[in-house]
Amino acid sequence: MKLVGERRAIAAAVFGFFAFVWILNALNVPEPLQPVAYAMFGVYALAFFAVVAGYFWARWYAMGVGLFGVIVSAALCYQLGALEPMFLFLGGTHLGATVLLWGDAMSEPFEGQRAWRDRYHMDDNAVQRLGRSVIRAGISLPFVLIYGLAPKPEGGLAATIALGLAVVGFGGLLKMRTWGVLAIATSGVVLVGSGQHLAATGVLPAIPALVIGAGLLLAAAPFARPIGRWIHAR
């Protein structure tokens, strides 16, 4: 299945649609929830714009956001114990966008470009590492935004710190900066530590903090060995 341009257009349309949904939600939800809605609008708007613009990292990021939607849909259906049409639509459209962006043919207009590889001196192994990291970050970043911006009775400071580190780290990761990977890893450590504290005090957000923190650590994991070798060489 080639149809690279058509697949790209449909996937972009999915992200554009959900960006529109989130901006409508931001204008109608109660004020305490508006930061979450605006942040999610930003997540989907970035996926839409990046795919259309053809940034080298766009396919990875958009696939991560697509998998985020699939995970959320599955979790909601599991919690309700029923396959609700709204959640099936959410999961189906996100899964469809992810599948449409999958494959070697779709990589050519994005990470297959030679210019950025030459600019950052990236070989195939380094490209694969970056791809795994960006996909995992694309899955984790929306969860971090929701957890960090949603109203909560306790653990707010740790969530805010983790949110800032994750956002800054993601930007650094896309610029091939070591500090970006370290910021993402630190954000994961903060959330895992926060989750352990919340678990000890019996507060409900313990499991989300632990899971989101683990996701951020997985996003940084592909670069652990190269960074370790660099530190050892010093």
Summarised one tens digit per residue, pLDDT across range 179-229 is 999 999 999 999 888 766 554 444 444 567 788 889 999 999 998 877 777
Contacts of 75 (CB under 8 A, 6+ apart): none
Confidence of residue 20 (pLDDT cuts 50, 70, 90): very high
Task: Return d(Cα 158, Cα 197) in angstroms, integer.
Answer: 10
Q: What is the pLDDT of residue 198?
A: 53
Can you spell out the DSSP letters for 27-50? HHS-GGGHHHHHHHHHHHHHHHHH
Q: What is the pLDDT of residue 83?
A: 78
pTM: 0.90
Q: Which amino acid is at 196?
A: Q
Same domain, 195 and 221: yes
Q: How many structural domains is the chain composed of? A: 2
Domain boundary among 79, 112, 145: 112
Q: Name the residue range of residue 138's domain.
A: 125-234
Same domain, 105 and 188: no
From residue 49, alpha-carbon distances to 9, 24, 75 in Å are: 11, 18, 28
Q: With a cut of 60, say whether residue 154 has pLDDT above it.
A: no
Q: With a cut of 70, say whether residue 133 has pLDDT above it.
A: yes
Q: Pick from 96, 4, 18, 127: which is nearest to 54 by CA?
A: 4
Q: Is residue 39 part of a domain?
A: yes
Contacts of 223 (CB under 8 A, 6+ apart): 129, 133, 178, 181
From residue 103, alpha-carbon distances to 1, 46, 112, 147 in Å are: 9, 21, 12, 32
Domain boundary among 112, 141, 171: 112
Task: Return d(Cα 7, Cα 9) in angstroms, integer.
Answer: 5
Contacts of 86 (CB under 8 A, 6+ apart): none
What average pLDDT score do residues 228-234 get? 66
Same domain, 55 and 24: yes
80-122 tens-digit pLDDT: 877 788 999 999 999 999 999 998 889 888 998 888 888 888 8
Percent of the chain with pLDDT over 90: 54
Which DSSP letter does residue 221 get? G
From residue 45, alpha-carbon distances to 17, 21, 189 in Å are: 9, 11, 28
What average pLDDT score do residues 127-141 get? 94
Q: Is residue 117 part of a domain?
A: no
- Share the mean pLDDT of the chain: 87
Name the token pair of 62. Answer: 């958009």
Same domain, 87 and 158: no
Same domain, 145 and 100: no
Q: With a cut of 80, say whether residue 66 has pLDDT above it.
A: yes
Q: What is the pLDDT of residue 196?
A: 61
Same domain, 12 and 54: yes
Contacts of 23 (CB under 8 A, 6+ apart): 37, 38, 41
